[in-house]
Amino acid sequence: METEEIVRKARTAITDAAMQRIRTKPLFNEDCPVFRGCKLFSDKWSMLCLMVLMQGTRRYSQLQRSLPDISPKMLAQTLRQLEAHGLVDRNIYPEVPPRVEYSLTAFGDTLRFPLSVLLDWSLEEGSSIAAAAVMPATVLSCIEI
């Protein structure tokens, strides 16, 4: 069996299992775990910040350079929100000038696999995504792989 066929069957099995679990839950209300989970990082910048932090600890300026289209105010707000949700850890070092680093928490690290799958899909379907004008093409080019 070819590798592509194995991958396709594995993806189908994972998707079928997830859909089966979803069918047994009341969807898209405040008590829905899917709704609550998506709400943690479903704004415009959170997922991209998490994807950058999947590469390792970053200082604010490094995050800013990795996501050039985000304003400094929005980056700070997004990082505060991710920290409040327990996905990102903010370490302040008592130096002059102060050094602040951001990294994924253990909980944030649990998103590594699903976000990697989404990142892989985005790269595979980049031309279709660009044609659909879902996001600027520059966003995916910012993420180092």
Query: Measured between alpha carbons, how far is 103 from 59 in angstroms, rounded to an integer?
Result: 9
* Mean local confidence (pLDDT), 45-74: 95
DSSP strand pairing (58-59 vs 88-93) = unpaired
Amino acid occupying residue 25: K
Does pLDDT of 20 surpass 80?
A: no
22 vs 68: which has the higher pLDDT: 68
Pairing label, strands 99-104, 88-93: antiparallel
pTM tops 0.85: no
**CATH architecture of the domain with range 44-141:** Orthogonal Bundle (1.10)
